[in-house]
Amino acid sequence: MGKEVIDALDKAGLNTRPSLKSEVARLTKLVHILWKEVEKLEGIIQVIPEGLRIKAGRSEVLVLKNGGIILDGARIQIKTPTKNELRL
């Protein structure tokens, strides 16, 4: 992709200095790295019609548009500084 950008700049008659070529190559590499991370996140976090789904292994959290939250897992533990803050 970086080479395509440099070729397009050369074809347009714009002077591409060597430092610009190396910068484009570096940025292209960074975009590829970021895209791989986005692909990983897409497998974990999904927007669904009901709201948002976060899934990791056998655990799942659904944050619903109607204000509800559904926790699904083998063990669920909720920690709060005081029991007064825990409302079920």
Q: Which residues contact 57 (CB under 8 A, 6 or more apart)?
A: none
Same-domain status, 54 and 25: no
Same-domain status, 51 and 27: no
Query: pLDDT tens, 50-60?
Result: 999 999 989 99
CA distance 88 to 86: 7
Query: pLDDT tens, 62-87?
Result: 999 999 999 998 888 777 777 665 55
| pLDDT of amino acid 61 | 95
Same-domain status, 29 and 66: no
> Number of structural domains, the chain?
2
Same-domain status, 32 and 69: no
Residue 54: strand, helix, or coil: strand
| pLDDT of amino acid 74 | 87
Q: Which residues contact 58 (CB under 8 A, 6 or more apart)?
A: 73, 74
Same-domain status, 67 and 51: yes
Over the chain, what is the mean pLDDT?
82
Q: Which domain holds residue 29?
A: 1-42
